[in-house]
Structure 1
Amino acid sequence: MKKVLIGIDYNPRSEKVAIEGHKLAKQLGAEVCLIHVMADVSYYGVNYPSFMGFETQSEMQVDLNVIAELREVAKKYIARAAEHLNDPTVTTHMAEGTTSGAILDYAEKWGADMIVLGTHSHSVLEKVIMGTTAGRILEKSKIPVHFIPVKN
């Protein structure tokens, strides 16, 4: 194992995932990258024609500055998380899109040997209807996935 990609989100339990994932990577002598994925917010600024009685021209005018601010907040979050690990060799990556797809894409691009994720407790019904990010990554990953259990 030479490269370990650790996925974190805004859930406070991500601290445990980052710390435990970092510890595991260091025991393996691996390089560490923290990844945070922001939902694709750019589509909110698109002016679609009216549909189903909804006037997107007036209702969906999202200030593009807000989108830029959200990106900056996410970048600061991931940088601060890396600083918290007190290891200057830790790198970061901020992505946009679907969480599972963005993590899998970056894992391949970066050449990760393992993905570390937290597993949040979701209800059985939620898992059946929507699935989980961790489940989608596990299903499609070509590399080992290590889960850190975090309870809600």
Structure 2
Amino acid sequence: MKKILIGIGESKFAEHATEYGFELAHKLQAEVGLIHVIEPAVGVPMGPVDSTMGMSYDNTMDIVTPELMNIEQEVSKKVLQKFADKYGDDFKVTRFTEYGDTADAILECSKQFGADMIVLGTHSRTGIDRFIMGSVAEHVVRHSDVPVLVVPTKEG
């Protein structure tokens, strides 16, 4: 294990996984990649009410403006910097900001980085919460070409 990719975000779940990932990298003397994914904003329906579907989605408001993208990039840069500063003192840390579906972006970045392992946090949702929210970790585990370490954090 020479390269470990750690998925980060702005939650306690990501914080716990990041700490764990850096501890593992330290023990293995591995290089670290940090990835922060910005998911695209969903357009707001602006069309007339449609009797079959309730709304018309033909005309959506374009909310992905250059200003919004700049703000998202700055936030991502700060999040990456925060984790690199907090845990990456003696590591070579490569930082990635990706756009799109979180799970797919992590998988693609893993290939680009040449990761030998991916470390992700999870919020340990079960039942209907997991069904509704989906599971980035589960998608990554199912589709990754390299081992994935999922670090659970129970709420509460």
TM-score range, shorter chain: 0.7 to 0.9
Q: Deviations over 1:80-100 (max 9, x none)?
A: 111111425222111110010
Q: 1:98 aligns with which of 101, 108, 115?
A: 101
* Matching residue's letter, 1:123: T
| Alignment of structure 1 residues 135-150 onto 2, 5 Å | 135-150=138-153
CA distance change for structure 1 residues 69 and 129 in 2, over 3 Å: closer, same or farther?
closer
Report the Cα offset of residue 66 of structure 1.
Answer: 2.4
Of 90-99 and 129-138, deviating more is: 129-138
- Matching residue of 2:17: 17
- Matching residue of 1:39: 39
Mapped partners of 1:141, 1:4: distance in 2: 13
Mapped partners of 1:144, 1:89: distance in 2: 21
- Matching residue of 1:8: 8
**Runs (5+) with no aligned partner, structure 1:** none
Residues matched between the structures, number: 148
- Paired residue secondary structure (1:117): strand
**Runs (5+) with no aligned partner, structure 2:** none
Mapped partners of 1:100, 1:138: distance in 2: 9
| Alignment of structure 1 residues 1-152 onto 2, 5 Å | 1-41=1-41, 44=43, 50=47, 52=50, 60-62=61-63, 63-87=65-89, 89-152=92-155
Aligned-pair identity (%): 36
Aligned-residue CA RMSD (Å): 2.5
* Matching residue's letter, 2:75: V
- Paired residue secondary structure (1:143): coil
* Matching residue's letter, 1:125: I
With the length of structure 2 as denominator, give the TM-score of the two structures.
Answer: 0.82
CA contact (8 A) 2:14 2:122 kept: no
With the length of structure 1 as denominator, give the TM-score of the two structures.
Answer: 0.84
